[in-house]
Amino acid sequence: MIIFTEEFRVFFNDLALKKIADQCLKASLDAFNVNNGNIPKWSVAIEELKTIPKTKIELNEPYISIGQNGNNTKIIETALKRLLPWRKGPFIFDNLKLESEWQGGLKWQRLQNHITPLKNRRVLDVGAGNGYFTLRMAIEGASKALGIEPFLLFNYQYAAIKSLSNSKINAMLLPIRLEEMPKLAIFDSVFSMGVLYHQRDHMQHLSQLMEMMAPDAELILETLVVEGPNGYSLIPEGRYAQMRNVHCLPSIETLKSWLVKANFKNIKVIDINKTTPEEQRKSEWIGDNAASLEDFLDPSDSSLTKEGHPAPTRVIIICQN
Ligand SMILES: C[S@@+](CC[C@H](N)C(=O)[O-])C[C@H]1O[C@@H](n2cnc3c(N)ncnc32)[C@H](O)[C@@H]1O
């Protein structure tokens, strides 16, 4: 069990967060308490990392970096390889560069100058993966950066990162789905990046995001889109770019109409970007011979996925409640 009651208590010691602390703790404990055959292996990794001296966590663009004296690289590598695949990053631990599948710095660059600066804001990062972006939000000065991510492995990856750091960083990751979050309008910035297309009910996701937002808060929404007029969406039969659980890819106009329907205002498209193999890349950190974007596209036409759909393009929208 990697729950961290002390860390939890310190993080939730905030007037607004205190109101949801008990429910968040219960949901997290329940999530960690499942029968998952990988937990013993993941726990070994955390125990191995705990033996290493803790040092400062900082940004060494695009890497989140935890420096050491160079003596622990092998132990760290062995431990972190028990937690494959590392989708989100990149990180540097000691002298070890962990080149994750996704080059997260590129997404951050696309939105960084458009969002309201995070300094002193309470931030919710929905579908946070291993917390790469949650940590960046805290490094940017968020008063609290809470990531929620139901996939347990990513929570263990986050615990691994945290176990090497002695910084009092205002970030926390909990194994909770947005649906399970106690609904209280307390977050000044809410991020939903790469999550909407995984939802069966996109309108429910948008209204649940809205419910978490304090007055005059900002939503930063990043999702897959397709070209087309207002009203058009692609509902893939089977997989999309080899991903399961991709339910609906709207056109940008359709997405904007969903946001209007969910009562968001000041809806601004700040970026449209076709995913490249530079951003989503093969790496030893997703396992030997594991596939990545280049394997998901049609080998004779990279504008299409293997299934014949338009290749992944992502939009970032900022709007207010
Ligand atoms: C494609 S990843 C995106 C990770 C990160 N936000 C990023 O932009 O790189 C989507 C993540 O959302 C999580 N997720 C899916 N549905 C969710 C929900 N209802 N509540 C919270 N997280 C969810 C998944 O487990 C997955 O790790």
Specify the pLDDT at position 4.
Answer: 73
pLDDT mean over 64-76: 88
Cβ distance 122 to 142 under 8 Å?
A: yes
Decide: 129 in ligand 1 pocket, CB within 6 A: yes
Nearest CA to ligand 1 atom 11: 127
Specify the pLDDT at position 87.
Answer: 97
Nearest CA to ligand 1 atom 1: 194
Q: How many A from CA of 288 to the centre of ligand 1?
A: 24
pLDDT at 1 over 60: no
Specify the pLDDT at position 3.
Answer: 59
Nearest CA to ligand 1 atom 18: 177
184 within a domain of the structure (yes/no): yes
Testing ligand 1's pocket by substitution, the residue of 149, 154, 197, 293 carrying the most ligand atoms inside 8 A of its CB is 149
Please tell me which residue, 288 or 23, carries the higher pLDDT value. 23
Decide: 193 in ligand 1 pocket, CB within 6 A: yes
141 within a domain of the structure (yes/no): yes
CATH code, domain carrying 108:
3.40.50.150
Nearest CA to ligand 1 atom 14: 127
pLDDT mean over 118-140: 98
Specify the pLDDT at position 227.
Answer: 97
- What whole-number distance in Å separates Cα of residue 229 and Cα of residue 251? 6
Q: How many A from CA of 14 to the centre of ligand 1?
A: 25
Alpha-carbon torsion angle 45, 47, 48, 54, nearest 10: 110
72 within a domain of the structure (yes/no): no
Q: How many A from CA of 240 to the centre of ligand 1?
A: 16
Decide: 148 in ligand 1 pocket, CB within 6 A: yes
Decide: 181 in ligand 1 pocket, CB within 6 A: no
Decide: 175 in ligand 1 pocket, CB within 6 A: no
Decide: 202 in ligand 1 pocket, CB within 6 A: no
Decide: 220 in ligand 1 pocket, CB within 6 A: no
Decide: 87 in ligand 1 pocket, CB within 6 A: no
Decide: 241 in ligand 1 pocket, CB within 6 A: no
Identify the band that residue 67 occupies on the pLDDT scale cut at 50, 70 and 90. confident
Decide: 81 in ligand 1 pocket, CB within 6 A: no
Specify the pLDDT at position 2.
Answer: 59
Cβ distance 46 to 76 under 8 Å?
A: no
State pLDDT tens for residues 185-195: 999 999 999 99
Q: How many domains does the chain have?
A: 1
SS (H, E, C) the chain: CCCCHHHHHHHCCCHHHHHHHHHHHHHHHHHHCCCCCCHHHHHHHHHHHHCCCCECEEEECCEEEECCCCCCHHHHHHHHHCCCCCCCCCEEECCEEECCCECHHHHHHHHHCCCCCCCCCEEEEECCCCCHHHHHHHHCCCCEEEEECCCHHHHHHHHHHHHCECCCCCEEEECCCHHHCCCCCCEEEEEEECCHHHCCCHHHHHHHHHHCEEEEEEEEEEEEEECCCCCCEECCCCCECCECCCCCEEEHHHHHHHHHHCCCEEEEEEEEEECCCCCECCCHHHCCCCCCHHHHEECCEEEEECCCCECCEEEEEEEEC
78 within a domain of the structure (yes/no): no
Decide: 194 in ligand 1 pocket, CB within 6 A: yes
Cβ distance 182 to 23 under 8 Å?
A: yes
Decide: 198 in ligand 1 pocket, CB within 6 A: yes
281 within a domain of the structure (yes/no): yes
Domain, as residue range, for 255: 5-36+103-320
60 within a domain of the structure (yes/no): no
Specify the pLDDT at position 259.
Answer: 98
Cβ count within 10 A of residue 275: 19
76 within a domain of the structure (yes/no): no
State pLDDT tens for residues 157-191: 999 999 999 888 999 999 999 999 999 999 999 99
Testing ligand 1's pocket by substitution, the residue of 88, 195, 248 carrying the most ligand atoms inside 8 A of its CB is 195
pLDDT mean over 124-137: 98
